Amino acid sequence: MESVLYESVVSDLTARPIRMGSRNLDKPAARKMAKEQTSNGAKLERSCAERAKHHLSAEVRLISSKRQTSSKAFLNHDYALWRGDVEEFLINLPKTPLFDLVLTSPPYNLGKEYEDRVALKEYWAWQKRIIALIVPRLKPNGSLCWQVGNFVNKNEIFPLDIEFAPLFKRHHLRLRNRIIWRFGHGLHTQTRFSGRYEVVMWYTKSAKPDSPYTFNLDAVRIPAKYPGKRHYKGPNSGKLSGNPLGKNPEDVWDIPNVKSNHVEKTIHPCQFPVGLVERLILALTKSGDLVFDPFAGSASTGVGAAIHGRRFWGCEIVRRYAEVGRKRIQSAINGKADYRPHTKPVYDHTRSTLSHFPEEFLRPKQ
């Protein structure tokens, strides 16, 4: 089926030059685009099959705290967003292990449009309460991924991963990776080096350091630099040394952040890229598992979960973000998600004419 779909798309795309913005795509470029579209289409077909296998719902529910007094209503839904306060939601959930993966990016207390900037002491007290409510509801050997950047005050930075680490340690969670998410765009600062990375802290709720937990490495392998490399000595001398599925993606991930021209861009000012959560969901959960995002925003985590046949619950206090999130998850359930997959290579900026050094820079200033 995938081969037939690919040939159909190729014949349609290569019948004439394709115009994108100010440039035409030749046949090789058209074939490449067709292959990408086919690959995404095949992934969405597989995700629909996964949902069917686990008898997952084909509808996402948006539940308002003003109309529903208890979050226990969530227990009957595979995909649901709570429009209201996350603390209220968690307090009203049964204090029993429910979540296979908690994956989120909390507000950084920077005074963005979706948060009120408060004293740092007050912010930490609030986050402590949220974490204390989440951990009992995380399944044994389940995973928690907390993605954070820096709190900035008068040009002094406070790396939030360093600040959060003691909070998780108190709950006896075990740090498995500190993943660097590197992106290429952001503010250009004048009094310090411009920030171009944030951190994902991946913890497991494990009784012992060597307790088993879900880690599906084969699901997230990336192309190896030298797939033809061979063992040069020992009993395997001359044999291929790599894995045909690719290599471990390591702990530094180059995934573009969501800016104005990104395919996933919504009204949310600080949006999670689906590619980032997608890799974590694939690696740390199994089909049918429950993923929870306490600060869902425009629900990128929910989109990644739905695409890959995982269940999803999320909380979002801002109504317009929650409504956007519901629509995005529903599109993913319907096989129509617009997203940039984690496997897509970062754009080579040298292909753009904007990367050429302008002659004006060589002229003496008047």
Residues 6+ apart with CB under 8 A from 17: 24, 25, 26
Structure tokens at 111: 């005074």
Q: Is-contact 325 298, C-beta < 8 A?
A: yes
Percent of the chain with pLDDT over 90: 50
3-state helix, strand and coil shares in percent for the chain, rounded to the nearest 5: 35, 20, 45
CA distances from 254 to 126, 158, 185, 304, 346 (A): 31, 23, 11, 18, 7
State the DSSP H helix or E strand holding residue 144, giving kind and residue range, or none if neither. Answer: strand 138-148
pLDDT over 80 at 36, yes or no: no
Average pLDDT over residues 160-173: 94
- Cβ atoms 127, 120 nearer than 8 A: no
Task: Provide the pLDDT for residue 19.
Answer: 31
Residue-by-residue DSSP string for 95-133: SS--EEEEEE----SS--TTS----HHHHHHHHHHHHHH
Dihedrals φ, ψ of 288, to 5°? 85, -10
| Amino acid 260: pLDDT | 75
Query: Parallel, antiparallel, or unpaired: how do β-strands 138-148 and 150-153 relate?
Result: unpaired
pTM for this structure?
A: 0.81
Within 10 A of 328 (CB to CB), how many other CB atoms are there? 23
pLDDT number for residue 30: 45
Q: Which has the closest alpha carbon to 276: 142, 182, 152?
A: 182
What sign has the CA pseudo-torsion 267, 273, 277, 282?
positive
Fold of 54-345: Rossmann fold (3.40.50)
Residue 190 banded pLDDT, cuts 50, 70, 90: confident
* Distance, CA of 56 to CA of 69 (rounded, Å): 25
> Measured between alpha carbons, how far is 86 from 294 in angstroms, rounded to an integer?
6
Please report which confidence band the pLDDT of residue 115 belongs to, taking 50, 70 and 90 as the band edges. low
Q: Are strands 150-153 and 174-182 parallel, antiparallel or unpaired?
A: unpaired
Residue 58 has pLDDT above 80, yes or no: yes
Which of 151-155, 229-233, 337-341, 362-366 has the highest mean predicted lDDT (pLDDT)? 229-233
The confidence band for 53, taking pLDDT boundaries of 50, 70 and 90, is: low
Give the domain ranges of the chain: 1-12+25-53, 54-345
What pLDDT is recorded for position 1? 35
| 53-60 contacts at long range (C-beta below 8 A, 24 or more positions apart) | 53/287, 53/288, 53/309, 54/287, 54/288, 54/309, 56/288, 56/309, 56/311, 58/333, 58/334, 59/330, 59/333, 60/302, 60/306, 60/312, 60/326, 60/329, 60/330, 60/333
More confident residue, 128 or 349: 128
pLDDT of residue 23: 34
Q: Which residues of 138-164 are buried (b: 16+ CB within 10 A; e: fewer)?
A: beebbbbbbbbbbbeeeeeeeebbebb
Which DSSP letter does residue 17 get?
P
Please indicate whether residue 311 or residue 6 has the higher confidence score (pLDDT): 311
In this predicted structure, the answer to whether residue 114 has a pLDDT above a threshold of 90 is no
pLDDT higher than threshold 60 for residue 78: yes
Per-residue pLDDT band for 263 (boundaries 50, 70, 90) equals confident
> Of the segments 44-58, 84-98, 337-351, which one has the largest average pLDDT value?
84-98
Question: What does the mean pLDDT of the chain come to?
Answer: 82
pLDDT at 361: 82
DSSP three-state, residue 31: helix
pLDDT for the residue 213? 97
31 has a pLDDT exceeding 80: no
Confidence of residue 350 (pLDDT cuts 50, 70, 90): confident
- The secondary structure of 199-254 as a DSSP string is EEEEEE--SSTT------GGGG-B--S-TT-B--SSTTTTSB-S-TT-B---SEEE
**286-304 burial code (b ≥16 CB/10 A, e <16):** ebbbbbbbbbbbbbbbbbb
